Amino acid sequence: MKDAQHEDGYPWTWEPAALTGILLLIIGILAVQIGRTAALLFTGSGLWWPTSEHLVTSCWAILRGNTTAGLPTHTAVGSPMWLVWTMTAAAAAAMCGTSGWALMRLRGRAIKGMATADQAQHLLGLRRLRLTRGIIRPDLYPKGRQ
């Protein structure tokens, strides 16, 4: 079967764009926090994750160079900013790749398109197609024109 026999009549509106924007915002926030956590872990500062009230608000400070923003005060050792950026980019790439893979994987389960003319002829036979052509395509074969 073909992926699409004809164009979808439903227009793309703002909902897919809004969903994509929200998804990218969530991926960005989580990538910054995961990148900072991985950088702190690699530099020997331990595994630190901010509390829920600092999860979003500390992102801007992290991007400006404060690698301990939103963490408890006894986390004194920071991490080099190049490592934070590298880990953030790796986390964002992994999450975007996983999201794209999941979208392609789940989208493939939907029933798409229609059978081609050759497939319909093979399945139903030419005689049956000709007898029922008014039902199959009433726009081309009206009742009076059999």
Q: Is residue 104 assigned to a domain?
A: yes
Most confident of 70-74, 75-79, 101-105: 101-105
Domain span including residue 105: 15-113
Q: What percent of the chain has pLDDT over 90?
A: 40
Q: Does the pLDDT of residue 82 top 70, yes or no?
A: yes
Q: Which of 56, 65, 60 is nearest to 85 (CA)?
A: 65
Do residue 21 and residue 85 come from a single domain? yes
pLDDT of residue 8: 60
User: CA 64 to CA 31: how far, in whole Å?
Assistant: 15
User: CA 58 to CA 40: how far, in whole Å?
Assistant: 15
Q: Which two tokens stand for residue 98?
A: 């996983």
Do residue 64 and residue 119 come from a single domain? no
Q: What is the DSSP letter of 43?
A: T
The stretch 76-86 carries a mean pLDDT of 86
Interval 7-35: pLDDT, tens: 666 667 888 889 999 999 999 999 999 99
- The CA-CA-CA angle for residues 127, 130, 136, to 5°, reads 125
- Out of 20-24, 87-91, 106-110, 112-116, least confident range: 106-110
Do residue 120 and residue 138 come from a single domain? yes
What is the pTM assigned to this prediction?
A: 0.66
* Predicted confidence band of residue 1 (pLDDT cuts 50, 70, 90): very low
Do residue 123 and residue 78 come from a single domain? no
